[in-house]
């Protein structure tokens, strides 16, 4: 922890709530913690003597005729009503026990000064955004658990100008009401840029009056399902112009700029489906709009296609007043351009040497159009290839190299590297996680990211506008999953974008994060507890007992019980693997400063559970395209999620104790192979099946080792949901790695393992 944070710890006695106010008028339940409950961490905090009491008689004073101050005051009053049940009156005349908004020159953009004294509170800023952010900070102090707010002087301003989240509404549609809630959560983290991904291969979500077929043909689709599975109901939707105007205004009132993304020249299946003349004369097969991956369909380079794109962007710009318009530019597979005689002839006539240069020419043409309308083009880092448009800004997603190259060339850039800022990756390592990318991106991993590349000079660093985390929603079919995947990792992104690098401390961040999540819960945010919840690894031990190893992501202490009671601060402290009699009910929770953190473990330890491994506890044989994919059945209700590498479906049960094992049971499900991976599909190979449906094979001591069990898939072939396959095995002794694969004629359908159970003799 830095010296600045240490000073705060010595001088402050803030209380942070383990469970903050959930309803208006409730009293906060608080527990001492080491740091003031402010997130993101302010630049400077100077404690003082005494405290300010916020009561029903408090008032908010705004300068006469100051619309920005009144808007910030109204937002503060609304927030205090939600979390404290107090709604101070807003007045324009001086008053005692007041929260006063004031203007002053010389405070940097979005910055503010907050002074709390025993008699008053003053929030001062040069601009409207600073007043709003000062109000947010005061709201955080006011919801720290007591009516009395410790006297303090805070000087604050953001580290970066661009502090963003990207939400993909093209793959799965979210309601306008959810978008507004999402914007609220962002604003209360001082995030200021909402990058809205509105179009892609799988969907077109924005009404364009001149081209109505875009939503008629592209707003709805039938999700993919495996052969024989019930057809799933259609999914989709689109935003009308009226809804978008309302959302843009809603965001602006919270000092969030919405940057729309209209993809080009790739990710263009949806518009080409609606208007085939925009493509390269290759007709897309029906149904592939429900696939994931990288599609080969690109816009052609005819004048009429550029006319279409300019028409679309003209309507987009009329809705979004943002300085930047995002044009995508990523993952444009050039095969159709290469195969088109027409496009090759055009390239020759234009003197363009290759398809990368053609994409550069394409983007530069669009950049000139946007510039003529007073806007700036931003795109993913592929727009660097073949030459960057003169005034383009680069969003670097393939690592940070694109941002570095852009800054070194004098271009602005935003850091958005995968996987660390791709929040569609799993954040926890257990089966409780919803579907997503297989590689884990934990809260700590996000927090440890440095958004200031050390290879740049000071002048080049000025071209780094900031950072952005992305939520790609291929596997987030519900709004609840979007919220769960975004937070609390988006809270870490907010701190990276705002707080000074030398003041960040992960332990202090956790202490400030817990009350922030509690504040937002009554505002509809159900954030993930993965970072805090203990996980358990079970295995058999000697004398008929079970061994349990506990861990959590944040390194907090773990307290546990074995009598069925809820763990408390005085419960036994976990210090190493536990050896427990069976059966036992083990309960565990993580603690900091004697305060229980969100999330808890309730684990049955018996002869079966210590020999069971779900797919998240099995080891994948490879990690080429590792995904946690949702089953396609049932159509309604909970579905299983399978962790697998779609390039090589293969799982290893490591160090399996086979002493006394007489049977093996495997829970399997079939899922559609709906992935656009081009020629790489030829790399997916299987052993030939002995029966039409194929078989699960179990091999010992390696995936080329002795085959010790075969489980025919026929019983599962007619069941679209999970099926348990079971077989007897010959006696073995000792511990061995078991490899689970299946035989098949091809990747469709794809089989996946949900869990493996080793069954001992009765």
Residues classed as catalytic: 200, 267, 331
Question: For residue 131, what are its two tokens?
Answer: 């007043």
CA distances from 236 to 206, 216, 219, 270, 372 (A): 12, 11, 6, 13, 34
CA distance 269 to 413: 28
- Cis ω for the linkage preceding 583 (within 30 of 0): yes
**300 and 358 Cβ atoms separated by less than 8 Å:** no
What burial class does residue 10 get, using C-beta atoms within 10 Å of its C-beta: 0-12 exposed, 13-18 middle, 19+ buried?
exposed
Tokens of 603: 């684990």
Maximum distance among all Cα pairs of the chain, rounded to whole angstroms: 87
E strands, 273-318, where? 292-293
- Note whether 639 and 633 are within 8 A (CB): yes
- State how far the Cα of 74 lies from the Cα of 71, in Å rounded to an integer: 5
Q: Which tokens is 356 given?
A: 């990368």
Report which DSSP code applies to 185: H
Alpha-carbon gap, residue 675 to 224, rounded angstroms = 10
Which residues 6+ apart lie within 8 Å of 128 measured at CB? Answer: 68, 69, 71, 72, 255
Helix axes 241-252, 303-319, angle to 10 degrees: 50
Output the CA–CA distances (angstroms, integers) from residue 639 to 175, 341, 631, in the order listed: 22, 47, 6
Give the Cα separation of 334 and 296 in Å (integer). 7
Place of tokens 């506890």: 617
**The tokens of 680 are what?**
């790489």
Alpha helices in 373-442 (DSSP H): 401-408
DSSP classification of residue 392? -
Collect all residues with Cβ–Cβ distance below 8 Å to 178 and sequence separation of at least 6.
Answer: 479, 482
- Any residues with CB less than 8 A from the CB of 534 and at least 6 apart, and which? 550, 551, 552, 558, 574, 588, 589, 590, 599, 600, 601
Residue closest to 736 by CA, chosen among 657, 665, 661:
657
Query: Where does residue 496 rank: exposed (0-12), middle (13-18), buried (19+ CB within 10 A)?
Result: buried
CA distance to 263, 367, 371, 469, per residue, from 376 (Å): 15, 7, 6, 21
What whole-number distance in Å separates Cα of residue 474 and Cα of residue 492? Answer: 23
CA distance 597 to 602: 15
CA distances from 371 to 212, 248, 394 (A): 26, 22, 16
What distance in Å separates the CA atoms of residue 198 and residue 191, rounded to the nearest whole number?
A: 20
Tell whether the torsion through CA atoms of 654, 658, 661 and 663 is positive or negative. Answer: positive
**616, two tokens:** 């998240």
CB–CB of 123/100 below 8 Å?
A: yes
Which run of H or of E encompasses 551? strand 546-551
**In whole angstroms, what separates CA 449 from the centre of its chain?**
15
Query: Closest Cα to residue 451, out of 396, 491, 406?
Result: 396
């Amino acid at each position: 922890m830095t010296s600045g944070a240490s000073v705060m710890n010595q001088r402050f006695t803030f209380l942070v709530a383990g469970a903050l106010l959930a309803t208006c008028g409730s009293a906060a339940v608080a527990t001492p913690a080491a740091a003031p409950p402010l997130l993101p961490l302010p630049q400077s905090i100077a404690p003082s003597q005494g405290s300010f009491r916020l009561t029903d008689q408090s008032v908010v004073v705004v300068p006469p005729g100051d619309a920005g101050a009144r808007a910030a005051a109204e937002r503060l009053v609304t927030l205090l009503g939600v979390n404290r049940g107090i709604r101070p009156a807003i007045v324009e005349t001086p008053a005692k026990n007041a929260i006063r908004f004031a203007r002053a020159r010389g405070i940097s953009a979005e910055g503010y000064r907050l002074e709390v004294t025993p008699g008053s509170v003053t929030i001062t800023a040069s601009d409207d955004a600073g007043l709003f952010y000062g109000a947010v900070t005061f709201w955080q102090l006011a919801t720290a658990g007591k009516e009395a707010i410790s006297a303090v002087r805070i000087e604050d301003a953001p580290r970066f100008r661009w502090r963003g989240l990207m939400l993909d509404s093209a793959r799965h549609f979210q309601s306008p009401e959810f978008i507004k809630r999402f914007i609220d959560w962002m604003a209360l983290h001082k995030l200021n840029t909402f990058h809205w991904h509105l179009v892609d291969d799988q969907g077109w979500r924005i009404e364009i009056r001149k081209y109505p077929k875009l939503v008629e043909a592209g707003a709805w689709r039938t999700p993919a399902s495996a052969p024989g599975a019930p057809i799933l109901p259609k999914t989709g939707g689109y935003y009308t112009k009226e809804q978008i105007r309302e959302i843009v205004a809603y965001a602006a009132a919270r000092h969030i700029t919405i940057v729309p993304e209209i993809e080009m020249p790739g990710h263009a299946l949806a518009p080409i489906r609606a208007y085939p003349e925009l493509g390269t004369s290759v007709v897309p097969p029906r149904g592939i709009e429900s696939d994931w991956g990288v599609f080969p369909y690109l816009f052609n380079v005819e004048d009429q296609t550029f006319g279409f794109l300019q028409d679309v962007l003209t309507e987009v710009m009329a809705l979004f007043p943002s300085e930047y318009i995002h044009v995508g530019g990523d993952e444009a597979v050039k095969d159709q351009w290469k195969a088109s005689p027409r496009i090759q002839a055009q390239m020759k006539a234009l003197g363009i040497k290759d398809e990368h240069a053609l994409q550069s020419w394409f983007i530069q043409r669009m950049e000139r159009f946007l510039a003529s309308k007073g806007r700036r083009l931003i795109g993913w880092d592929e727009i660097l290839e073949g030459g960057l448009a003169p005034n383009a800004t680069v969003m670097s997603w393939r690592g940070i190299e694109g941002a570095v190259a852009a800054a070194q060339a004098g271009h602005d850039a935003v850091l958005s590297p995968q996987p660390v800022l791709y929040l569609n990756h799993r954040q926890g390592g257990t089966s409780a996680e919803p579907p997503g990318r297989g590689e884990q991106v934990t809260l700590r991993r996000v927090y440890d990211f440095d958004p200031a590349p050390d290879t740049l000079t000071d002048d080049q660093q000025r071209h780094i506008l900031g950072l952005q985390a992305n939520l790609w929603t291929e596997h987030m079919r519900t709004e609840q999953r979007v919220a769960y995947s975004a937070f609390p990792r988006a809270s870490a992104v907010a701190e990276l974008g705002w707080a000074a690098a030398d003041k960040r401390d992960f332990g202090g961040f956790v202490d400030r994060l817990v009350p922030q999540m509690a504040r937002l819960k009554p505002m509809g945010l159900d954030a993930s507890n993965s970072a805090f919840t203990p996980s358990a690894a079970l295995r058999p031990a000697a004398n008929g007992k079970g061994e349990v190893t506990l861990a959590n992501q944040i390194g907090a202490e773990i307290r546990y019980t074995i009598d069925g009671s809820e763990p408390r601060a005085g419960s036994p402290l976990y210090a190493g693997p536990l050896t427990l009699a069976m059966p036992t009910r083990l309960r565990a929770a993580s603690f900091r400063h004697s305060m229980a953190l969100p999330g808890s473990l309730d684990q049955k330890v018996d002869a079966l559970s210590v020999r069971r491994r779900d797919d998240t506890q099995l080891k994948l044989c490879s990690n080429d395209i590792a995904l946690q994919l949702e089953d396609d059945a049932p159509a309604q209700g909970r579905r299983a999620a399978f962790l697998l590498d779609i390039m090589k479906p293969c799982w290893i049960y490591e160090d399996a104790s086979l002493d006394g094992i007489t049977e093996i049971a495997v829970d399997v499900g079939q899922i559609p192979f709906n992935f656009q991976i081009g020629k790489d599909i030829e790399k997916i190979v299987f052993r030939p099946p002995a029966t039409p449906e194929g078989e699960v094979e179990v091999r010992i001591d390696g995936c080329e080792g002795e085959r010790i069990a075969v489980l025919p898939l026929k019983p599962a072939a007619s069941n679209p949901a999970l099926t348990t396959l079971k077989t007897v095995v010959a006696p073995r002794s000792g511990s061995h790695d078991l490899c689970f694969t299946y035989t098949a004629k091809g990747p469709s359908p794809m089989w996946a393992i949900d869990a493996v159970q080793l069954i001992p003799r009765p």
